[in-house]
């Protein structure tokens, strides 16, 4: 596998060697990347299953674990008023 450039600090690194991160050169840069993503995109994401049910999924879980539709049921539902309903 070819060397990559860290998206945070710009260091060129070999992603096949520990810690083996796909976008960052190490744990410190990975933590900074998570902090930036959560700051810019929110602490939670609304993930909707094929059945139309929406779940409140922490952005950190999406970054760290990746999320499959089968995982969504372990998260709380994203409850919000229906469009056109009184508050």
71 band by pLDDT with thresholds 50, 70 and 90 = very high
pLDDT at 24 over 60: yes
pLDDT at 33: 97
pLDDT at residue 84, rounded to an integer:
57
Q: Are 8 and 24 in contact (CB under 8 A)?
A: yes
Average pLDDT over residues 30-40: 97
Antiparallel, parallel or unpaired: β 54-58 and 4-5 = unpaired
* Residue that wins the pLDDT comparison between 87 and 39: 39
Domain boundaries, the chain: 1-41, 43-81
| pLDDT at residue 39, as a whole number | 97
Q: Find the mean pLDDT for residues 8-23.
A: 90
């Amino acid at each position: 596998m070819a060397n990559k450039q860290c998206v945070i600090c710009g260091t060129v690194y070999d992603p096949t060697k520990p810690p083996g991160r796909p976008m960052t050169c190490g744990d410190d840069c990975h933590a900074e990347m998570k902090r930036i993503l959560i700051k810019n995109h929110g602490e939670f994401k609304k993930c909707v299953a094929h059945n139309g049910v929406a779940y409140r999924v922490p952005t950190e879980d999406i970054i760290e674990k990746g999320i499959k539709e089968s995982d969504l049921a372990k998260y709380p539902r994203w409850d919000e008023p229906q469009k056109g309903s009184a508050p």
